[in-house]
Amino acid sequence: MARRVWAAVTLSALSAGNSHILAVRSSHVNRPKRHSYSSISTWEECPAKYAYSYIYNLPWPSSAAMERGTRLHSLAEDYLNTPEMPIPYDLRKIGPILDRQKQAGGKAEVIWLVNEKWEPVEDQKDAKVKAIVDCHYVAGEVLHVDDYKSGREYPSHRSQLELYSILGLLKYPLAGRAESAAIYIDGGYSGQDASIIRAMLPHLIDKWSTKIERLESDDDFIANPGSGCRWCPYRKSIGGPCGESAKAGY
C-alpha cells in the first residue's frame, strides 16, 4: 500500500523521544469544545487517536466501506423524505422497518444539541454535545430513536444510542421514555434495542458528563495500542505518525 503523505503538522517533533505521549497542551492547539459519541468513544479507545483526529485534524482517509455507508444513509434519508419513493434496492432488507418509520412520521438526519448544562440548544456554537440522529419519531409518550448501520453489529452501538436517547428525551420533554434500536441494513433486522425512562436521566447524564470531563482533562493523550490499531489510519505501517501501533503488530 502506498505510504500516505501526512498534513504539515509537526507530529515527529511532538512525539520525539516519547512516542507514546503526544504533548498536546491547550495553549498550543484548539481543543474541541463540542463532543459527539464518535469523539468520546475514539478517546476511550485510544487518546492518541483522538488527538490526531480531533485536535490536529489529520485526515481520516475515506474507504470503500465508509463511502458505501454514506450512500446507504443518504438513500434512507431520501426514502423517509420522499412520499412516493419506492424502497431503494440496496435497502430492501430493511424495507418493512423503513416503511414503519415512514408511516410513523420518521424524521431523518436531525441534529440534536445540548449545552454544558445539558439544556437543548439550537446553535452549534452554544453546544457541548452533538448528535446527528438517523431517524426519530414520537408515538404517544414514546420517543423512538433509530440508527442505521451498514456493517456488523457491535455492543458499542447500544452505547451510542444511549447518548442519543438522552439528548432526545431532553429535546422532547413530554416523552416519558426513549426506545432505541440499531437498524442493520445488510442483515435486515434491528438490534441492540434499549429503553430509557425519564427517571434514569440524572444518572445517565452524570455518567456521560464524567466521560467528557475525563476527556477534557487529558493533556497527554497516551497511545493505547491494541486490536483497534489494525483499522487506525494513523498506524505506522501505512505511513501514519503513530509508532506505538508496532506494539500491537500493526
- Distance separating alpha carbons of residues 189 and 184, to the nearest angstrom: 5
232 binds ligand SF4 (CB under 6 A): yes
State yes or no: residue 162 binds ligand SF4 (CB under 6 A).
no
Q: How far is the CB of 50 from ligand SF4 (least distance, A)?
A: 8
Binder to ligand SF4 among 40, 48, 108, 182 (CB under 6 A)? 48
239: contact with ligand SF4 by CB under 6 A: no
Examine residue 58 and tell whether it contacts ligand SF4 (CB under 6 A).
no
Smallest distance, ligand SF4 to C-beta of residue 229, A: 3
Out of 46, 131, 139, 150, point to the residue binding ligand SF4 (CB under 6 A). 46
Residue 95 found at the interface with ligand SF4 (CB under 6 A): no
Kindly state the number of chain residues that form the binding site for ligand SF4, as judged by CB under 6 A: 15
Which of 130, 235 has the CB closer to ligand SF4? 235
* 170 forms part of the interface with ligand SF4 (CB under 6 A): no
Tell me: does residue 14 bind ligand SF4 (CB under 6 A). no
SS3 annotation, the chain = CCCCCCCCCCHHHHHCCCCCCCCCCCCCCCCCCCECHHHHHHHHHCHHHHHHHHHCCCCCCCCHHHHHHHHHHHHHHHHHHCCCCCCCHHHHHHHHHHHHHHHCCCEEEEEEEECCCCCEECCHHHCCEEEEEEEEEEECCEEEEEEEECCCCCCHHHHHHHHHHHHHHHHCCCCCEEEEEEEECCCCEEEEEEEEEHHHHHHHHHHHHHHHHHHHCCCCCCCCCCHHHHHCCCEHHHCCCEHHHHHHCC
- Closer to ligand SF4 by Cβ: residue 69 or 228: 228
From the CB of 128, what's the least distance to ligand SF4, in Å? 25
Determine if 39 is a binding residue for ligand SF4 (CB under 6 A).
no
Task: Measure CA 133 to chain center.
Answer: 10
For ligand SF4, which residue of 37, 43, 49, 146 counts as binding (CB under 6 A)? Answer: 49
Closest separation between CB of residue 156 and ligand SF4, Å?
Answer: 15
Asked if residue 145 lies in contact with residue 159, where contact means CB atoms within 8 angstroms, the answer is: no
End-to-end CA distance of the chain: 13
| Grid cell of 10 as nine digits | 509537526
Q: Is 234 in the site for ligand SF4 (CB under 6 A)?
A: yes
Q: Applying CB under 6 A, does 19 fall inside the site for ligand SF4?
A: no
**Nearest distance from residue 2's CB to ligand SF4, in Å?**
18
228 sits near ligand SF4 (criterion: CB under 6 A): yes
Please choose, from the candidates 156, 157, 177, the residue with its C-alpha nearest in 3D space to the C-alpha of residue 165.
177
Residues binding ligand SF4 (CB under 6 A): 46, 48-49, 52, 223-225, 228-229, 232, 234-235, 242, 244-245
